[in-house]
Chains A and B, each alone.
Chain A
Amino acid sequence: MERLTAVEQRAPGAWQVATVASIRLETPRVKTFRIALGMWVAHLPGQHYEVRLTADDGYRAQRSYSIASSPLLEGEVELTVERLEDGEVSMYMHDVLGVGDEIEVRGPFATYFVWRGEEPVLLLGGGSGVVPLMSMLRHRRLTAPQLPMRMLYSVRSPEDLIYGAELGEETTLTYSRSAPPGWTGHIGRIDEAMIVRAAAGFTSGPAFVCGSNGFVESASRHLLTAGFPPASVRTERFGPSG
């Protein structure tokens, strides 16, 4: 496993008070927070930040959120957050946090589920599991648009589609529960046939799989069937996070 000492040396890793620069509504349940950082370091696509909330009596809650933006967005990161019922951090971010508010964060962290420019790259996202993959997709568009990268993205229904306007021909979208009127593309969960087709010509590089545990289990199993060596399949599963 390649070690990335550069991040260890450059990342502050310390908590800092950052400022919410803008908020974008992605879906009825998902918002993207652009956060301006005093101590900013370029991240690797796939890394995450930690967010910490402190009440006035000292009570604290912390969660990790994947970075959605390219590291070329200097001085800022975008965190895309799904609002989970009973998720005290995500509910605060959705319902209370506004532009100009301060928020405590630290990062970027972890160097396994990261894209370092290897090619070709196959991305498999389920629901809000698309977030760290979007950082990879955006960074590739900005730095190496010819680099072979393909994404399969599964969402339940049109109102769950994140980054819809940004998806291009590299992305194959499927609606697992209900499709918009007039939809002529895939319907149903990502299955073995879809993955085997998408994997053609891509098995020599890494595959990144992110989503719920069920999504990751079945998608990674199909990737092995499609010819990926197990060591090339990097997965990230949501724990319950809020």
Chain B
Amino acid sequence: MGGFVSRGFTGRRRTPDELAARLPPGQYAESGFPVLTAGPTPEVPPDSWRLTIEGMVGAPQAWSWEEFAGLPFESVPCDIHCVTKWSKLGTSFGGVSLDVLLADAQPRGTHAMIHSYGGYTTNLALADLTDGKAWVVTEHEGEPLAREHGGPARLLVPHLYFWKSAKWVAGITVLDHEEPGFWESNGYHLRGDPWREQRYWSD
């Protein structure tokens, strides 16, 4: 099948060479920031927002919005890749590294389930959440994160498809095994590496 050519297709939206290398297979560059959510958008006022880390940890952790604001904040320039084919190149978020959040919790497991306000879940290996690869972010391009994009706070794991970057993040449960989250139970890949095009179960 490698030799198939679509009759009369030349391609219109070609990405400039300097950006093309940053696009994983099957993705195209999108300048906007589309919204994709499985259900209604939850409303989470910052003063009732809490973030918890629990499960297989030495010391469960919890932060209020005010406490979270006191943690070391960093700017995260990144490219993001949605499984529905768009990528947003050269964007940025601001938040707190999972390395900071997990340090005091002393995780004893290998995997994590992320829980969101509204009931969404997604699973990740701890190895995909540590060593400067994941953040809980509250800003996008210098502005407070909009509610439809997960405000007040969402997970950011830019090296995996964007459904892993759970909006309205509420908690991280550390596990000693892998369990599928919401999309992962509904046909999507357990890990979701865009460079290996891990979109669906069968990939």
Q: Identify the A interface with B (CB < 8 A).
A: 1, 3, 7-8, 11-17, 52-56, 59-64, 86, 88, 91-92, 96, 101-104, 109-113, 213, 217, 220-221, 223-224, 230-231, 233-235, 237-242
Contact = CB atoms under 8 A, between A and B. Distances in A.
The main secondary structure of chain A at its interface with chain B is: mixed
Interface residues of B, number: 44
Which of A52, A62, A113, A223: most chain B Cβ within 10 A?
A62
Contact of B8 (A3, A96, A234): A96
Contacts, number: 130
Q: Which 8 A-B residue pairings sit nearest by Cβ, starting from the closest? A: A13-B202, A239-B34, A112-B186, A220-B40, A88-B12, A59-B11, A53-B6, A96-B8
Given A102-B7, A231-B39, A111 B32 contact: no
Interface of B: 1, 4-14, 25-26, 28, 30, 32, 34-42, 82, 84-86, 118-119, 148, 182-183, 185-188, 199-203
Contacts of B6: 53-55, 92, 102-104
Contact of B12 (A15, A91, A113): A91
Contacts of A1: 182, 185-186
Given A112-B186, A220-B40, A235-B37, A102 B11 contact: no
A104 B3 CA distance: 11
Nearest to B13: A88
Contacts of B35: 213, 237, 239
Contacts of B28: 61
Contacts of A54: 4-6, 9
B85 A64 contact: yes
B5 A55 contact: yes
B36 A237 contact: yes
Contact of B39 (A91, A109, A220, A239): A220
Contact of B40 (A101, A103, A230, A241): A230
